[in-house]
């Protein structure tokens, strides 16, 4: 039976989808509803959440539509997508009739009282939790933040927190959160962009420098576009002052894509600054050595170009490139034991990676990946290649690999020498243990407390997380894992 005749059988007259939908929404049979629910879980839940309340993609519940909520508009959203924003079009994969059923499913789902919409417990827990040989409690450090992105500490114990829409705040040692620091750079706050990481210079006590990464609006205007940029500055009396530009790209390279900015900031203690930039949602960038996107970069901490970067002397290579072929490096950390640089990145659908980043090496994207296409079209890449560094671990399905920390403090002895990797869609923290032979294994130590965007080890040795509530962008929080036995 065709879709039209199916409508006929339901007693509807087909006179154009929007008319049909607005006057008499298509009711799916129970069987069709369940089939489309499974289809939704397979194709869409990855980004929009199993309960349709959002994740990487927005919420698909009534009242929250940005692209229009008539059946016609939803149909168009699904068929054509918004590739620039990270929504793949499904028109090539699904026949129109199946897309229409998905539309009907999305319209009907909110009317059903479903177990699947039961709210998971977010944030703090008074109960003791145990994982990987440690017992801890989870406690709130700060609440009511809008998409907290990065955390860092000043030498006096105060904490700096960025909120993605463009705010930098200071959490006092008395637990009081400051007003936003005035005068931080304007951001291109579209999609995944905004104010991102914050890092404190290792010699901050002497020089006062604080570093910020952000999506810089295209210099000189010229339309809706941005690119990852880095500044440093100082905070004096609640104001951002003495700002210096550390990294920016020419206006011509700015892009309208709201995706894949990367941008974690890492100092190596020897005067260098490392950071990653994602592919900006354009497949060709990461393998193009002339382009700054899809790379791990290295600069002197004052922004000067090092003379000894791996491609030094090759005029066609973007000079700060340290390693290339990364998709969206959202976690970057240097371990204080071996001094090596480690990275986590988002794969396409599956194929999130944990990598040891070595100078001059290729990490494969978009020619090599273990992931699949979001819209289930055949992939264009290989799963391995001799000249491409393999990840030590990959996550399939994706966890939305985010902040990455190296744990070497005293509070959790069993975790010493291991990594803690956050996941956005996975809403979890995984411990990663790398063995001497280079193999790695992972174990989930926390789950279902919210989207984990940053993971840091505090000066007290406790583990701090920036959590995002996918239902409510303004309900982000900082929590910490404190050993159950430790005093507050
Ligand atoms: C890879 C991630 C991803 C997948 C998979 C995905 N989406 Fe999306 N979707 C997005 C993003 C990101 C947006 C926001 C685009 C924008 O408005 O800028 C979006 C937007 C939408 C919109 C428009 C919402 C609005 O506010 O008007 C609809 C409808 C939608 N998606 C439906 C679906 C359906 C149905 C599926 C599965 C067949 C799906 N999406 C799969 C990422 C995804």
Between the CA of 150 and the centroid of ligand 1 the distance, in Å, is 26
Instruction: Please report the pLDDT score of residue 204 as a whole number.
Output: 97
pLDDT digits (tens, 9 = 90+) for 322-351: 999 999 999 999 999 999 999 999 998 889
Residues 232 and 245 sit within 8 Å (Cβ to Cβ): no
487: pLDDT strictly greater than 80: no
Residue 110's pLDDT band, with cuts at 50, 70 and 90, is confident
Whether 45 lines ligand 1, by a CB cut-off of 6 Å, is: no
In this structure, which residue's CA is closest to atom 5 in ligand 1?
Answer: 44
Of the chain, the percentage scoring pLDDT greater than 70 comes to 91
Pick from 21, 37, 43, 48 the residue to mutate for probing ligand 1's pocket: most ligand atoms within 8 Å of its CB. Answer: 48
Whether 65 lines ligand 1, by a CB cut-off of 6 Å, is: yes
Between the CA of 374 and the centroid of ligand 1 the distance, in Å, is 11
Q: CA separation (Å) from 8 to 3, 16, 108, 142, 269?
A: 9, 13, 19, 56, 71
334 phi, psi to nearest 5 deg = -105, 130
Instruction: Please report the pLDDT score of residue 195 as a whole number.
Output: 98
In this structure, which residue's CA is closest to atom 40 in ligand 1?
Answer: 44
Of the chain, the percentage scoring pLDDT greater than 90 comes to 74
Between the CA of 323 and the centroid of ligand 1 the distance, in Å, is 32
53: pLDDT strictly greater than 90: no
In this structure, which residue's CA is closest to atom 36 in ligand 1?
Answer: 44
Residue 115's pLDDT band, with cuts at 50, 70 and 90, is very low
Residue 126's pLDDT band, with cuts at 50, 70 and 90, is low
Residue 124's pLDDT band, with cuts at 50, 70 and 90, is low
Q: CA separation (Å) from 381 to 28, 89, 241, 377, 384?
A: 38, 19, 46, 12, 9
Q: Which of the residue ranges 2-16, 157-171, 205-219, 366-380 would you say has the lowest mean pLDDT?
A: 2-16
17: pLDDT strictly greater than 80: no
Write down the catalytic residue from 260, 291, 297, 346: 260
pLDDT digits (tens, 9 = 90+) for 77-91: 999 999 888 899 999
C-alpha dihedral, 103 to 98 to 349 to 463, nearest 10°: 30
Pick from 46, 69, 74, 87 the residue to mutate for probing ligand 1's pocket: most ligand atoms within 8 Å of its CB. Answer: 87
Between the CA of 179 and the centroid of ligand 1 the distance, in Å, is 34
Domain boundaries, the chain: 3-117, 125-483
367: pLDDT strictly greater than 90: yes
Q: Which atom of ligand 1 is nearest to the CA of 74?
A: 29
Task: Say how many C-beta atoms besides its own lie within 10 A of residue 248's C-beta.
Answer: 17
221: pLDDT strictly greater than 70: yes
Tokens encoding 161? 């927190």
Q: Average of pLDDT values for 259-288? A: 96
Instruction: Choose between 110 and 8: higher pLDDT.
Output: 110
200: pLDDT strictly greater than 90: yes
Which class is 3-117 in CATH? mainly alpha
Told to judge if 260 belongs to the known catalytic residues of this protein, a careful annotator would answer yes
Instruction: Choose between 218 and 23: higher pLDDT.
Output: 218
Residue 113's pLDDT band, with cuts at 50, 70 and 90, is low
Between the CA of 2 and the centroid of ligand 1 the distance, in Å, is 26
Between the CA of 87 and the centroid of ligand 1 the distance, in Å, is 5
Tokens encoding 57? 């993609």
Ramachandran category for residue 313: left, alpha or beta (phi over 0 → left; psi -120 to 50 → alpha): left
Q: Which of the residue ranges 107-121, 122-136, 200-214, 307-321 would you say has the lowest mean pLDDT?
A: 107-121
Instruction: Please report the pLDDT score of residue 4 as a whole number.
Output: 38
Whether 54 lines ligand 1, by a CB cut-off of 6 Å, is: no
Instruction: Please report the pLDDT score of residue 3 as a whole number.
Output: 40
120: pLDDT strictly greater than 80: no
Which class is 125-483 in CATH? mainly beta
CA–CA gap between residue 171 and residue 421 (Å, rounded): 24
Instruction: Choose between 256 and 405: higher pLDDT.
Output: 405
Pick from 21, 38, 47 the residue to mutate for probing ligand 1's pocket: most ligand atoms within 8 Å of its CB. Answer: 47
Residues 196 and 161 sit within 8 Å (Cβ to Cβ): no
Instruction: Please report the pLDDT score of residue 114 as a whole number.
Output: 52
Whether 90 lines ligand 1, by a CB cut-off of 6 Å, is: yes
Q: CA separation (Å) from 264 to 151, 261, 273, 459?
A: 11, 9, 10, 19
468: pLDDT strictly greater than 60: yes
CA–CA gap between residue 429 and residue 451 (Å, rounded): 10
Whether 74 lines ligand 1, by a CB cut-off of 6 Å, is: yes
The helix/strand count (H/E) of the chain reads as 7, 24
Pick from 35, 58, 90 the residue to mutate for probing ligand 1's pocket: most ligand atoms within 8 Å of its CB. Answer: 58
Whether 267 lines ligand 1, by a CB cut-off of 6 Å, is: no
pTM of this structure: 0.80
Instruction: Choose between 111 and 196: higher pLDDT.
Output: 196
């Amino acid at each position: 039976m065709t879709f039209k005749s199916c409508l006929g059988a339901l007693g509807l007259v087909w006179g154009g989808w929007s008319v049909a939908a607005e006057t008499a929404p298509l009711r799916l049979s129970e069987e069709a509803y369940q089939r489309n629910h499974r289809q939704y879980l397979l194709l869409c839940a990855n980004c929009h959440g199993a309960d349709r309340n959002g994740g990487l993609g927005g919420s698909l519940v009534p009242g929250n539509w940005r692209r229009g909520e008539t059946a016609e508009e939803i149909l168009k959203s699904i068929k054509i997508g918004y590739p620039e924003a990270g929504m793949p079009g499904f028109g090539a994969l699904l026949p129109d009739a199946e897309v229409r059923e998905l539309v009907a499913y999305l319209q009907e789902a909110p009317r059903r009282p479903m177990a699947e919409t039961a709210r998971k417990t977010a944030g703090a827990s008074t109960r003791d939790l145990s994982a990987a040989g440690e017992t801890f409690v989870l406690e709130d450090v700060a609440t009511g933040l809008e998409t907290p992105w990065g955390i860092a500490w000043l030498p006096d114990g105060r904490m700096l927190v960025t909120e993605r829409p463009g705010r930098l705040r200071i959490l006092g040692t008395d637990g009081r959160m400051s007003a936003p620091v005035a005068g931080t750079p304007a951001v291109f706050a579209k999609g995944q962009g905004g104010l991102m990481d914050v890092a404190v210079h290792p010699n901050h006590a002497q020089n006062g420098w604080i570093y910020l990464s952000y999506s810089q609006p295209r210099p000189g205007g010229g339309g809706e576009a941005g690119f990852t940029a880095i500044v440093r500055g100082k905070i004096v009396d609640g104001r951002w002052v003495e700002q210096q530009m550390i990294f920016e790209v020419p206006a011509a390279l700015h892009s309208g894509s709201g995706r894949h900015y990367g941008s974690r900031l890492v100092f190596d203690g020897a005067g260098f600054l490392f950071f990653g930039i994602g592919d900006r949602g354009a497949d060709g960038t990461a393998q193009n050595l002339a382009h700054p996107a899809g790379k791990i970069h290295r600069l002197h901490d004052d922004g000067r170009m090092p003379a000894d970067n791996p491609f030094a002397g090759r005029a066609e290579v973007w000079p700060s490139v340290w390693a290339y072929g990364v998709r969206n490096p959202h976690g970057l950390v240097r371990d204080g034991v071996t001094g090596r640089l480690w990275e986590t990145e988002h794969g396409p659908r599956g194929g999130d990676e944990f990598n040891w980043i070595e100078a001059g090496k290729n990490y494969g994207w978009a020619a090599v990946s273990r992931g699949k296409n979001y819209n289930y079209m055949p992939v264009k890449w290989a799963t391995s290649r001799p000249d491409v560094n393999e990840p030590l671990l990959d996550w399939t399905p994706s966890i939305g690999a985010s902040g990455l920390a190296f744990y070497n403090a005293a509070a959790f002895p069993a975790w010493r020498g291991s990594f803690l990797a956050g996941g956005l869609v996975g809403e979890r923290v995984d411990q990663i243990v790398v063995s001497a032979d280079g193999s790695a294994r992972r174990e989930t130590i926390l789950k279902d407390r919210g989207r984990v965007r940053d993971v840091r080890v505090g000066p007290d040795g406790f583990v701090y997380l920036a959590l995002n509530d996918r239902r409510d962008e303004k309900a982000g929080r900082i929590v910490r894992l404190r050993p159950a036995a430790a005093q507050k």
